[in-house]
């Protein structure tokens, strides 16, 4: 069901003590909001985070998972391991996973299927690189990431998906897509989903924008009709900034 979502991807930041401090501050300052608020700490702190947020409105997501159920995959984490510590949400396809860890569309599609088969919700990330935008290929790139990553899923699967459009040139760079650029791409994404499935699936899926969202630009970006909130990196590590972004949603 389409709803406003503000999700913080903490990446490889915050040790356990720092995680506890940030969670306490967020819990204390969390404004009343209709938005779904999610934090994604590093794996090693997920179980503690899930415990700390047990009766909180803030939900916990993992930043990644493997598609296999178990086995010889040194360093990896399975859906069952996440579910067993009460983590039911997972980010898949973040541009850093694609760029630094060689995760291809095909590989990501397996992860999405594994997460959904385990009744998890998926925040699926995608977006073009700077050269692709400069060459005018950004729509083509996004269309192919969606097609290869998601379009062989059955229609029912879409109720468990959240999309996050994250132009790579705007991630961690301080450079943000303009609200108009975000809206243009989000509308294109809904059109592409309508063509592959139908308008009701396209209308019902939440599409987040990610890429240097901060308190100063969140409200304008979130006000666009096809933008349903944000996936936040750097600004999610500072409680007051994340809270201001939640207020802007
Ligand atoms: C991200 O990593 O998903 C992200 C959007 O990062 P930042 O907000 O720091 O650009």
Please give the pLDDT value at position 151.
Answer: 98
For residue 11, which atom of ligand 1 is closest to its CA? Answer: 2
Pocket test for ligand 1, best of 208, 212, 242, 244 (most atoms within 8 A of CB): 212
The answer to whether the beta carbons of residues 205 and 232 sit under 8 Å apart is no
Ligand 1 atom with minimal separation from the 125 CA = 3
Q: Tell me the three state secondary structure of residue 60.
A: strand
**Would you state the pLDDT for residue 175?**
80
Range of the domain at 244: 5-248
pLDDT given for residue 115 in this prediction:
98
* pLDDT computed for residue 176 by the predictor: 85
Q: State the pLDDT at residue 171.
A: 87
User: Rounded to the nearest whole angstrom, what is the distance from the C-alpha of residue 93 to the centroid of ligand 1?
Assistant: 13
Q: 87: which 2 tokens?
A: 């983590």
| Total domains, the chain | 1
- CA 38–ligand 1 middle distance (angstroms): 14
Please tell me the distance from the alpha carbon of residue 130 to that of residue 191, in angstroms, as a whole number: 23
Catalytic residue positions?
94, 166
Contacts of 23 (CB under 8 A, 6+ apart): 39, 49, 52, 53, 58
Per-residue model confidence as pLDDT tens for the chain (249 residues): 899 999 999 999 999 999 999 999 999 999 999 999 999 999 999 999 999 999 999 999 999 999 999 999 999 999 999 999 999 999 999 999 999 999 999 999 999 999 999 999 999 999 999 999 999 999 999 999 999 999 999 999 999 999 999 999 988 787 888 999 999 999 999 999 999 999 999 999 999 999 999 999 999 999 999 999 999 999 999 999 999 999 999
pLDDT at 97: 96
Identify the pLDDT of residue 35. 97
Q: Going by CA atoms, what residue is nearest to atom 1 of ligand 1? A: 233
Closest ligand 1 atom to Cα of 214: 8
d(CA 80, CA 134): 41
CB-facing half-sphere around the CA of 246: CA atoms within 13 A: 24
Cα–ligand 1 centroid distance for 233 (angstroms) = 3
Q: Which two tokens stand for residue 159?
A: 């109720």
Residues touching ligand 1 (Cβ under 6 Å) are 9, 166, 171-172, 210-213, 231-235
Paired strand residues for 7: 38, 231
Question: What is the residue with the minimal CA distance to atom 4 of ligand 1?
Answer: 233
What tokens appear for 155 in the block? 């229609």
Q: Which of 38, 39, 233 to mutate to test the pocket of ligand 1 (most atoms within 8 A of CB)?
A: 233
The CATH number that applies at residue 47 is: 3.20.20.70
- Tokens at 90, concatenated: 């997972």
Cα(86) to centroid of ligand 1, in Å?
25
**Residue 73 and residue 111 in contact, taking contact as beta carbons nearer than 8 Å:** no
């Amino acid at each position: 069901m389409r709803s406003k979502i503000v999700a913080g991807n903490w990446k490889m930041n915050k040790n356990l003590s720092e995680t506890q401090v940030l969670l306490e501050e967020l819990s204390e300052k969390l404004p009343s909001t209709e938005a779904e608020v999610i934090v994604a700490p590093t794996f090693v702190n997920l179980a503690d985070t899930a415990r700390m947020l047990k009766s909180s409105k803030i939900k916990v997501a993992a930043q990644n998972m493997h598609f296999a159920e178990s086995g010889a995959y040194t360093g990896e984490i399975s859906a069952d391991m996440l579910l067993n510590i009460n983590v039911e949400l997972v980010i898949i396809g973040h541009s850093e996973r694609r760029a630094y860890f060689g995760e291809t569309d095909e590989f990501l599609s397996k992860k999405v299927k594994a997460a959904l088969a385990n009744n998890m919700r998926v925040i699926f990330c995608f977006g073009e690189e700077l050269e692709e935008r400069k060459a005018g290929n950004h729509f083509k790139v996004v269309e192919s990431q969606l097609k290869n990553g998601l379009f062989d899923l059955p229609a029912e699967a879409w109720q468990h998906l959240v999309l996050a459009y994250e132009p790579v040139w705007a991630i961690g760079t301080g450079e943000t897509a303009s609200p108009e650029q975000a809206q243009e791409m989000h509308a294109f994404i809904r059109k592409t989903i309508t063509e592959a499935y139908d308008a009701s699936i396209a209308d019902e899926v939440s599409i987040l924008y990610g890429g240097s969202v901060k308190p100063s630009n969140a409200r304008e970006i979130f006000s666009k009709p096809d933008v349903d909130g944000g996936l936040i990196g750097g600004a999610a590590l500072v409680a007051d900034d994340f809270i201001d972004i939640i207020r802007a949603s």
